[in-house]
Amino acid sequence: MEGLIGLDHALHRIRSPSHTRGRRLHLITAVDVSSKLLLNAWIAYAKAEEPNISKIYDMRVPIDEESIIVKKLPITNPYSISRTFRLTSSRSDLVEIGDEVLQIPGLGSLTAKLLFHNVIRNPIRLEVMIFVFNGETGQQEEVIKLNVTYTE
């Protein structure tokens, strides 16, 4: 979850882990560094809901592999004009996006590289969300769910 809030004619970014769901209150304070006096305080309310998942992929990752495992994920531009898309992972500790920014021609498709950091050593199944944002506006275009199974 990420958002911009305006405080005294300036924009400030608030960011929470993207796999967090629910409601949160954030206390934001401005303190004078030299005098350590509180200048101002704000309360920001944030609400995160389940994402609207457009695609689901099942992926298997061997737990005995020592190196980073690379898999490919197709990303499609549904628009008739060329667009820039930005990709992020809900679990960047497990799955990193190779090229976070993709320039895709109108009605075209490219593959994004997913780098699986093999830090899991026991068989387990995890969900990882890949968020696809419009590169120009920052609006979320789609959410791709990866069912990642770590196998022996």
* Choice among 3-17, 21-35, 63-77, 94-108 with the minimum mean pLDDT: 3-17
Is pLDDT of 7 > 60? no
Does the global pTM surpass 0.85? Answer: no
In the chain, where the domains are located? 2-48, 53-151
CB 48 within 8 A of CB 1: yes
Residues 6+ away with beta carbon under 8 Å from 94: 116, 117, 119, 120, 126, 128, 148
User: What is the rounded distance in angstroms from the CA atom of residue 36 to the CA atom of residue 1?
Assistant: 30
- What is the per-residue pLDDT across 51-87, written as a single tens digit (0 to 9) for each? 889 999 999 999 988 899 999 999 999 999 999 999 9
Q: What is the pLDDT of residue 21?
A: 74
CB 54 within 8 A of CB 143: yes
User: What is the rounded distance in angstroms from the CA atom of residue 2 to the CA atom of residue 47?
Assistant: 10
- The mean pLDDT value of the chain amounts to 89
CB 118 within 8 A of CB 142: no
Give the model's confidence band at 19: pLDDT under 50 very low, under 70 low, under 90 confident, else very high. low
Q: What is the pLDDT of residue 91?
A: 93
Give the model's confidence band at 50: pLDDT under 50 very low, under 70 low, under 90 confident, else very high. confident
Residue 140 has a CB neighbour count (10 Å cut-off) of 13
Q: What is the pLDDT of residue 24?
A: 84
Question: Per residue in 40-51, is it b (16+ CB within 10 Å) or e — as a string?
Answer: eeeeeebebeeb
User: What is the rounded distance in angstroms from the CA atom of residue 9 to the CA atom of residue 33?
Assistant: 20
For the chain, how big is the Rg over CA atoms in Å?
A: 19
Q: Which of 1.20.1440.230, 1.10.10.10, 2.60.40.10, 3.40.50.2300 would CATH assign to domain 53-151?
A: 2.60.40.10
